[in-house]
């Protein structure tokens, strides 16, 4: 697009065609200098003098531009050196012992954590009134937490959640370290109900490798702020492994280069997760259960929160984020009425070279080899394509998102809800072109096949992991796993299952590319472009008027033919004299 | 051979700058429309927008000029000799028959030209201008209280007008060669002086 030769060509054509016009403009400028100047640069959104737009322009000055802010590298951000505290100079035996020490000074911390999703794994959607959260929902990865807590709670900010008897009021059971470790040596092990290994143990299982016992004293004395590592320890590994679940969150974000994430670039702005996901009393802002799809209110002035989500792009960049007032930047700013920033600025996900899981077919799980042993197959990209425990997978990287109208409301198909047919949308992003609160959003759509209880007409919960004779991982018996899982979830398994196709959407919002890698206009403004499937809006360049084009070009061609024939005859006749 | 000063300086300037702009607008406009790729969509939009504003500015002057000089009367339609003109283009022109219309400074355009230009002035231009204008200010519709407008139709009529302009352009360029000699009209529009028999 921008080779020098093309630039020259553009310039020549422009000069040629506009030579005459420049003189025109000169005359225009002479006669009417102001009107002309305004005319040439004025654009939708900037030329109007209505208060709304003026306000929006003011907001631009508040909003940060990408160059404006370079975060100084913090040396010692804290005023307290925890290694000097006698309370922490102890040989802690367990996590809860450390927590008790923390709470001696941070008296309110555990109570605060008790109110957060990180602790409750519950979320009540205020709009749909649906009870969501990891505790309740079914997804199409490992499907459900219920009956599998000993494993899933490796990502719970608590100690000891192995079944329904867990005491959610216990302060000592809050895990401070999971988020505040700075040593990188803390690891909660699946199967230990949220605890790290206090003794040396083999990990991963049957690998022949061993993990040393966790050094809680060292960790406690080096406690500090959350970081990309601490958040990433869970959020990069969702769905059972690195990069598996989200597609826009994986360990490549621990030390990203600029092309991968313009905010987190470790040699650049070096944002932590918490720089956007600002916390208040341990409640971390920003949630995919009720994302903010649209924010028309401009950049947030520091300190002024008034209930708005500080984690959005708009919260810093405002609603007219493209600086300058050229034809193009004005046009780009005008696009914010229909597009989420993410749509142009995250052109692909899984850009950190790690592939993300794109589909998961549970229906083929449980096949064993002749010796009755677990089978694991790998695809050419090195990632597992079949595992007896889990079925078939596909992985992909540099993935082009799908696009949907989204107003921030997500409707889930919950456990126990009666659903029919062979296809179930685990969640549905609500929104439409006519809804002023909707924007076009990029999503990762994860497709799967998973068990469904035919008698109860609901997505099924099954017992995956555990040291018993029913866990699917180890026994490979669907009926037993379903029996146990459904019972734990409060329902009696009907005894008949089938596998239904499921779809689940994930908003794409991380891995923001630098501006030079943002989408180009023609990636959407073309036939069969990125937004071909988006309905309800007019987009020039998308082959909008095929009939008019056919008629128009036919008539133009006929006119051309007509004059050529006419001219030909004239020429021949004049030759004859 | 007679020579006659037909096209005044402003008129010639107006004609050629408008011609360049319209060609450029067609080039960029149909790219925006998706008919081909040449500049790339982003550049095409930017160029189209700038050229459109320039053209609008030019028209303001042209309208003013026509009104103040009385030249607008050149476009008053007449059916007189229209049939004769058709007959001339269909047969006479091939056999060197005399042109049925005698050009004067007060009547620069033959009756067919008058009708065609009037159509451009009253139908194509206003259609392209108003639809283009609304298209340009799409994001201000709400503030203007015209959000009942439908961008799909605004664009549709803009495109229809663009096709009409394209067809006019083809016929117009060809008929520019239909003077006393193939280049007579074109020279006239450059120098102002028309040669006639
Ligand atoms: C001879 C003159 C012109 C021609 C042949 C022309 C042609 C076109 C065509 C074919 C399109 C694509 C429409 C679509 O597919 O949606 C277009 C777009 C457009 N035209 Fe024109 N046009 C002309 C003059 C103007 C004028 C005078 C204006 C403004 C006053 C204008 C403003 C626009 C705008 C704003 C667009 C949309 C570009 C965008 O996507 O932002 N045009 N034009």
Over residues A241-270, the mean pLDDT reads 96
- A548, B160: Cβ pair inside 8 Å? yes
A320 to chain B nearest CA, in Å?
Answer: 13
B95, B140, B156: residue with CB nearest A48: B140
A495 Cα to the center of ligand 1, angstroms: 65
Q: Is the pLDDT of residue A86 over 70?
A: yes
The verdict on A27 touching B (C-beta cutoff 8 Å) is: yes
Over residues A271-279, the mean pLDDT reads 95
pLDDT digits (tens, 9 = 90+) for A472-521: 998 999 999 999 999 999 999 999 999 999 999 999 999 999 999 999 99
pTM (2 d.p.)? 0.86
Over residues A276-281, the mean pLDDT reads 94
The string of DSSP letters for A462-530 reads ---S-SSSS-HHHH--HHHHHHHHHHHTTS---S-EEEEEEEEEEE--SSPPPGGGSPPGGGTSSTT-T
Q: Which residues of B touch A15 (CB under 8 A)?
A: none
- The pLDDT, as a whole number, for residue A41 is 31
Q: Which residue has the tokens 């117009």?
A: B172
Query: Mapping DSSP to helix (H, G, I), strand (E, B) and coil, where does residue A431 land?
Result: coil
Helices (H), A189-237: 216-221, 228-235
B46 Cα to the center of ligand 1, angstroms: 11
In angstroms, the Cα distances linking A200 to A40, A46, A196, A197, B109 are 73, 65, 10, 7, 100
pLDDT digits (tens, 9 = 90+) for B38-56: 999 999 999 999 999 999 9
Q: Which residues of B touch A52 (CB under 8 A)?
A: 143
Q: Is the pLDDT of residue A45 over 60?
A: no
Asked if A192 and A150 touch (Cβ cutoff 8 Å), the reply is: yes
Residue scoring higher pLDDT (B31 or A573): B31
Helix orientation angle between A33-41 and A4-31, rounded to the nearest 10 degrees: 150
A260 to chain B nearest CA, in Å?
Answer: 25
- The pLDDT, as a whole number, for residue A5 is 54
Q: Is the peptide bond before A204 cis (omega within 30 degrees of 0)?
A: yes
- The pLDDT, as a whole number, for residue A451 is 96
- B138, A53: Cβ pair inside 8 Å? no
A20, A551, A573: residue with CB nearest B16: A20
Q: How confident is the model at residue A73 (pLDDT cuts 50, 70, 90)?
A: low
- The pLDDT, as a whole number, for residue A75 is 57
Tell me A188's DSSP state: B
Whether B159 lines ligand 1, by a CB cut-off of 6 Å, is yes
The string of DSSP letters for A55-121 reads HHHHHHHHS--TTT--PPPPS---S--GGG-GGG-S---SHHHHHHHHHHHSTTHHHHHHTSHHHH-
Closest CA to A458 of A143, A245, A237: A143
Quote the CA–CA distance of A518 and A497 in Å, as a whole number: 46
The interface pTM score, or ipTM, of the predicted complex is: 0.93
Tell me A405's DSSP state: E
The verdict on A204 touching B (C-beta cutoff 8 Å) is: no
Quote the CA–CA distance of A233 and A154 in Å, as a whole number: 10
- Count other Cβ atoms within 10 Å, centred on residue A539: 18
Closest CA to B58 of B84, B21, B89, B111: B21
Q: Are strands A497-507 and A423-425 parallel, antiparallel or unpaired?
A: parallel
Q: How confident is the model at residue B91 (pLDDT cuts 50, 70, 90)?
A: confident
Quote the CA–CA distance of B191 and A387 in Å, as a whole number: 84
Whether B133 lines ligand 1, by a CB cut-off of 6 Å, is yes
Averaged pLDDT of chain B? 91
Question: Residue B146 belongs to what domain range?
Answer: 2-196
The verdict on B138 touching A (C-beta cutoff 8 Å) is: yes
Over residues B85-95, the mean pLDDT reads 86
Q: Are strands A210-211 and A356-361 parallel, antiparallel or unpaired?
A: unpaired
Q: How confident is the model at residue B181 (pLDDT cuts 50, 70, 90)?
A: confident
> Rounded to an integer, what is the distance from CA A363 to the centroid of its chain?
27
Q: How confident is the model at residue B197 (pLDDT cuts 50, 70, 90)?
A: low
Number of structural domains, chain B?
1
- B167, A556: Cβ pair inside 8 Å? yes
Whether B161 lines ligand 1, by a CB cut-off of 6 Å, is no
Whether B51 lines ligand 1, by a CB cut-off of 6 Å, is no
E strand or H helix at A392? strand A391-396
Tell me A196's DSSP state: B
Q: Which of A327-331, B97-101, B123-127 shows the lowest per-residue confidence on average (mean pLDDT)?
A: B97-101
- Count other Cβ atoms within 10 Å, centred on residue A523: 15
Residues 6+ away with beta carbon under 8 Å from B98: B92, B197
Whether B25 lines ligand 1, by a CB cut-off of 6 Å, is yes
| HEC string for B106-120 | CCCCCHHHHHHHHHH
Closest CA to A509 of A321, A284, A308, A246: A246
A533 Cα to the center of ligand 1, angstroms: 24
Q: How confident is the model at residue B3 (pLDDT cuts 50, 70, 90)?
A: confident
Q: Is the pLDDT of residue B119 over 90?
A: yes
Q: Which of B163, B169, B179, B184 best probes binding to A when mutated, by most A CB atoms within 10 angstroms?
A: B163
- A570, B155: Cβ pair inside 8 Å? no
pLDDT digits (tens, 9 = 90+) for A202-242: 998 889 999 999 999 999 999 999 999 999 999 999 998 99
Q: Is the pLDDT of residue A554 over 80?
A: yes
Q: Which residue has the tokens 């989200």?
A: A246
pLDDT digits (tens, 9 = 90+) for A395-414: 999 999 999 999 999 999 99
Asked if A293 and A309 touch (Cβ cutoff 8 Å), the reply is: no
Whether B33 lines ligand 1, by a CB cut-off of 6 Å, is yes
Over residues A372-383, the mean pLDDT reads 90
E strand or H helix at A31? helix A4-31
Quote the CA–CA distance of A146 and A463 in Å, as a whole number: 8
- Percentage of chain A surpassing pLDDT 70? 87
- The pLDDT, as a whole number, for residue A466 is 86
- The pLDDT, as a whole number, for residue A206 is 87
Quote the CA–CA distance of A83 and A218 in Å, as a whole number: 8
pLDDT digits (tens, 9 = 90+) for A304-338: 777 889 999 999 999 999 998 888 999 999 999 99
The verdict on B2 touching A (C-beta cutoff 8 Å) is: no
- The pLDDT, as a whole number, for residue B96 is 82
A400 to chain B nearest CA, in Å?
Answer: 21
- The pLDDT, as a whole number, for residue B116 is 92
Give the CATH number for residue B70. Answer: 1.20.950.20
Which residues on neighbouring strands pair with residue A344, listed in sequence order?
none
Averaged pLDDT of chain A? 87
B129-157 as b/e, with b when 16 or more CB fall inside 10 Å? bebbebbbbbbbbebeeeeeeeeeebbbb
Q: Which residues of A touch B95 (CB under 8 A)?
A: 573
Instruction: Enumerate long-range contacts of B144-150, CB under 8 Å, 24 or more apart.
Output: B144/A48
Over residues A283-301, the mean pLDDT reads 90
A20, A545, A566: residue with CB nearest B20: A20
B107 to chain A nearest CA, in Å?
Answer: 25
Q: Is the pLDDT of residue A576 over 60?
A: yes
- The pLDDT, as a whole number, for residue A57 is 36
Q: Which of A6, A12, A17, A520 best probes binding to B when mutated, by most B CB atoms within 10 angstroms?
A: A17
The verdict on B67 touching A (C-beta cutoff 8 Å) is: no
Burial class (CB in 10 A: 0-12, 13-18, 19+), A143: buried
- Percentage of chain A surpassing pLDDT 90? 75
B181 to chain A nearest CA, in Å?
Answer: 11
Q: Is the pLDDT of residue A301 over 90?
A: no
- Percentage of chain B surpassing pLDDT 70? 98
Whether A540 lines ligand 1, by a CB cut-off of 6 Å, is yes
Q: Which of A62-71, A205-214, A331-340, A527-536 shows the lowest per-residue confidence on average (mean pLDDT)?
A: A62-71
Q: Is the pLDDT of residue A143 over 70?
A: yes
Q: Which of A49-58, A168-177, A367-376 shows the lowest per-residue confidence on average (mean pLDDT)?
A: A49-58
- A48, B143: Cβ pair inside 8 Å? yes
- The pLDDT, as a whole number, for residue B80 is 81
Q: Which of B21, B54, B141 best probes binding to A when mutated, by most A CB atoms within 10 angstroms?
A: B54
| A346: its two tokens | 């995250």
A519 Cα to the center of ligand 1, angstroms: 23
Asked if B37 and B4 touch (Cβ cutoff 8 Å), the reply is: no
Residue of the nearest CA to atom 40 in ligand 1? Answer: A540
In angstroms, the Cα distances linking A486 to A231, A413, A467, A480, B89 are 32, 16, 18, 10, 88
In angstroms, the Cα distances linking B161 to A77, A491, A542, A552, B28 are 65, 66, 19, 10, 15
- The pLDDT, as a whole number, for residue A3 is 53
B145 to chain A nearest CA, in Å?
Answer: 12
The verdict on B121 touching A (C-beta cutoff 8 Å) is: no
Instruction: Find, in chain A, the residue whose alpha carbon is nearest to that of B167.
Output: A556
The verdict on B83 touching A (C-beta cutoff 8 Å) is: no
- The pLDDT, as a whole number, for residue A307 is 83
Q: Which of A34-38, A114-118, A198-202 shows the lowest per-residue confidence on average (mean pLDDT)?
A: A34-38
Q: How confident is the model at residue A147 (pLDDT cuts 50, 70, 90)?
A: confident
């Amino acid at each position: 697009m921008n080779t020098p030769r093309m630039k020259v060509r553009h310039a020549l054509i422009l000069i040629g065609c506009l030579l005459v016009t420049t003189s025109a403009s000169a005359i225009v400028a002479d006669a009417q200098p102001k009107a002309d100047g305004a005319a040439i640069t004025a654009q939708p959104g900037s030329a109007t003098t209505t208060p709304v737009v003026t306000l929006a322009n003011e907001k631009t000055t508040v909003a940060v531009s990408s160059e404006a802010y370079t975060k100084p590298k913090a040396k010692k951000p804290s005023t307290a050196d925890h290694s000097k505290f006698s309370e922490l100079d102890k040989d802690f035996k367990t996590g809860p012992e450390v927590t008790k020490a923390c709470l001696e000074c941070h008296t309110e911390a555990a109570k605060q954590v008790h109110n957060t999703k990180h602790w409750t794994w519950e979320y009540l959607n205020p709009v749909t009134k649906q009870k969501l959260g990891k505790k309740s929902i079914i997804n199409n990865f490992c499907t459900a937490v219920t009956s599998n807590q000993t494993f899933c709670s490796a990502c719970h900010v608590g100690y000891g959640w192995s079944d329904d008897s867990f005491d959610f009021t216990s302060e000592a059971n809050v895990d401070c370290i999971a988020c505040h470790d700075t040593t990188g040596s803390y690891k909660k092990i699946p199967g230990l109900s949220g605890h790290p290994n206090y003794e040396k143990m083999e990990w991963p299982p049957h690998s022949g490798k061993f993990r040393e016992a966790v050094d809680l004293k060292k960790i406690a004395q080096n406690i500090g702020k959350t970081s990309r590592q601490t958040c990433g320890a869970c959020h990069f590994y969702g769905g059972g492994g690195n990069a598996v679940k989200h597609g826009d969150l994986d360990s490549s974000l621990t030390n990203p280069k600029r092309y991968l994430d313009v905010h987190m670039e470790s040699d650049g702005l070096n944002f932590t997760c918490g720089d956007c996901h600002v916390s208040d009393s341990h409640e971390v802002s920003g949630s995919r259960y009720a994302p903010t799809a649209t924010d028309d209110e401009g950049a947030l002035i520091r300190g002024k929160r008034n209930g708005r989500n500080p984690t959005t792009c708009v919260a810093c960049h405002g609603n007219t984020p493209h600086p300058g007032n050229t034809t193009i930047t004005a046009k780009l700013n005008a696009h914010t009425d229909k597009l989420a920033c993410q749509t142009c600025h995250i052109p692909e996900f899984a850009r950190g070279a790690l592939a993300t899981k794109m589909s998961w077919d549970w229906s083929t799980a449980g096949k064993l080899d002749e010796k009755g042993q677990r089978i694991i197959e790998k695809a050419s990209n090195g990632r597992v394509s079949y595992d007896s425990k889990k079925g078939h997978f596909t992985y992909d990287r540099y993935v082009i998102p799908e696009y949907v109208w989204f107003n921030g409301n997500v409707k889930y198909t919950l456990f126990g809800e009666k659903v029919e047919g062979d296809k179930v949308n685990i969640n549905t992003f609500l929104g439409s072109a006519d809804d002023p609160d909707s924007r076009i959003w990029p999503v990762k759509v994860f497709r799967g096949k998973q068990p469904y209880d035919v008698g109860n007409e609901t997505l099924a919960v099954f017992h995956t992991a555990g040291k018993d004779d029913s866990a699917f991982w180890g026994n490979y018996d669907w009926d037993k796993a379903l029996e146990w899982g459904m019972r734990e979830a409060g329902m009696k398994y009907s005894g008949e299952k089938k596998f239904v196709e499921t779809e689940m959407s994930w908003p794409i919002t991380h891995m923001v590319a630098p501006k030079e890698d943002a989408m180009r206009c023609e990636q959407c403004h073309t036939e069969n472009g990125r937004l071909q499937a988006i309905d309800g809006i007019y987009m020039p360049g998308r082959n909008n008027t095929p009939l008019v084009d056919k008629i128009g070009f036919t008539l133009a061609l006929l006119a051309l033919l007509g004059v050529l024939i006419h001219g030909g005859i004239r020429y021949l006749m004049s030759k004859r004299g | 051979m007679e020579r006659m000063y037909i096209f005044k300086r402003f008129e010639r300037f107006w004609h050629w700058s408008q011609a360049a702009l319209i060609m450029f607008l067609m080039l960029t406009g149909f790219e925006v429309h998706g008919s081909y790729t040449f500049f790339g969509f982003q550049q095409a939009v930017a160029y189209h927008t700038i050229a459109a504003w320039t053209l609008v500015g030019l028209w303001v002057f042209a309208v003013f000029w026509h009104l103040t000089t009385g030249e607008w009367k050149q476009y008053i339609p007449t059916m007189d000799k229209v049939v004769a003109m058709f007959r001339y283009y269909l047969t006479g022109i091939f056999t060197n028959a005399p042109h049925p219309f005698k050009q004067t400074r007060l009547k620069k355009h033959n009756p067919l030209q008058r009708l065609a230009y009037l159509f451009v002035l009253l139908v194509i231009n206003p259609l392209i201008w108003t639809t283009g204008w609304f298209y340009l200010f799409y994001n201000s519709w709400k503030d203007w209280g015209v959000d009942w407008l439908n961008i799909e139709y605004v664009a549709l009529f803009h495109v229809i007008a663009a096709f009409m302009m394209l067809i006019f352009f083809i016929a117009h360029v060809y008929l520019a060669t239909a003077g006393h000699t193939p280049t007579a009209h074109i020279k006239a529009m450059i120098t102002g002086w028309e040669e006639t028999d």
